[in-house]
Amino acid sequence: MLTNLHQQPADALLALIKLHNADPRADKIDLGVGVYRTGEGDTPVFGAIKAAERKLVEEQDSKAYLGPEGDMGFVEALMPYVFGKESPDMGGRIEGMQTPGGTGSLRIALAVAKRAGIRRVIVGVPSWPNHAQICADLGLDVVEFNHATQAGHTDMDALRGALANVVEGDAILLHGCCHNPTGIDYSHAEWDEIAQLLSQNKVLPILDLAYQGLGNGMEEDAYGLRRVLVAVPEALISYSCDKNFGLYRDRVGALYVMAAAGEDLPRMMSNAHSLARANWSQPPDHGAAAVRLILEDEGLTAQWLDELDQMRDRMRQVRATLAAAGKAGAVDLTAFGGQNGLFSIVPISKEQVLEMREKHGIYMAGSGRINVAGLTMGNIDKFVAAVAEVTA
């Protein structure tokens, strides 16, 4: 029977890692996989995480199962940072659970939405490829609209048009901040309008907050999510700690459900828990426990936030340097300075992407998406010169 399986294409980014690793050139540049890198090209473990892990090793007295909801201390400790310190549970209307990374959270969010009667998910494109892939695997139809204009701004007209055509049984998936792959985020004024539009129809918002703190700050990056939640009766929120705590391989995430009334939450969460039980039974403990220990300790929290500030400042420095370079051949890099997070798209063709790789040892996704943290003050001039050459 297993011979009936069809060969699946290799993941393009994972294939890119192998190509980069096999390249013998000393000055090669990896702009592919989306992990933070320091100015020296490393992806370090946060000092706050190391301290929390030492404490965890010394104090943890059991490896017993947690249950499908995971570490609820972790889930609750995150809530003031996600939803605000004044009323993090929106008056008893929000409850959450731990998941294996943001991907696990999105999987359960979309599966819960399908159980609730959602048939279509409206998604701005380009988007993170796994959004469409998870929807397809669950049998949900994806309805696309343009996220950004050719000029590099959010396409509010396209979003307005998409929301004007929603019907009951639709959900809309929105990036909370640091849009992947474009880095082009909605302004506060645009989020205000989006919240108003969402309040006028029955579409279910699914908010993907995978990069809080990597854009403009923890509070600033939560503006859009919080604005939407005030305006709508219910929503699903997918959260990842993989990036803002540097816990990539530990897969640390959370799913939050906001209900119109608190008494509805037990029924909603029972569905999320049963789906988790069928998928992974219970999430891995270590990374979430480390995050919980950080957020329970004022000193460790301050250390983590300082390390996060340093990450954000370095990416801002890279973006400012790219913007200052101005035109590189046919590509205007000035817009990179106003974008947020790890990712941006260089508007070049697949053939030019291949030329960047073969002639200059610069590895990036075929779409032109780059991880800006792969650029340093030591290699950024090489990158700008290569873009200028292939687009001249």
The amino acid that residue 297 corresponds to is D
DSSP state of 7: P
Share of the chain above pLDDT 90, in %: 95
Q: Is 117 exposed, middle or buried (0-12, 13-18, 19+ CB in 10 A)?
A: exposed
Q: Lowest mean pLDDT: which of 19-23, 100-104, 219-223?
A: 19-23
State the Cα–Cα distance between residues 211 and 222, nearest whole angstrom: 10
Delimit the CATH 3.90.1150.10 region(s) of the chain. Answer: 11-45+310-386
Q: Which tens digit of pLDDT belongs to each residue from 334-382?
A: 999 999 999 999 999 999 999 999 999 999 999 999 999 999 999 999 9
Q: How confident is the model at residue 15 (pLDDT cuts 50, 70, 90)?
A: confident
Delimit the CATH 3.40.640.10 region(s) of the chain. Answer: 65-296
pLDDT of residue 9: 86
CATH number, span 11-45+310-386: 3.90.1150.10
Which CATH fold topology does 65-296 show? Aspartate Aminotransferase; domain 2 (3.40.640)
Q: Is 125 exposed, middle or buried (0-12, 13-18, 19+ CB in 10 A)?
A: middle
Q: Which tens digit of pLDDT belongs to each residue from 38-96?
A: 999 999 999 999 999 999 999 999 999 999 999 999 999 999 999 999 999 999 999 99
- pLDDT above 90 for 151: no
Q: Is 237 exposed, middle or buried (0-12, 13-18, 19+ CB in 10 A)?
A: buried
Catalytic annotation, residues: 128, 208, 243
Q: How confident is the model at residue 145 (pLDDT cuts 50, 70, 90)?
A: very high
pLDDT of residue 33: 85
- pLDDT above 90 for 10: no
Q: How confident is the model at residue 169 (pLDDT cuts 50, 70, 90)?
A: very high
Mean confidence (pLDDT) of the chain: 96
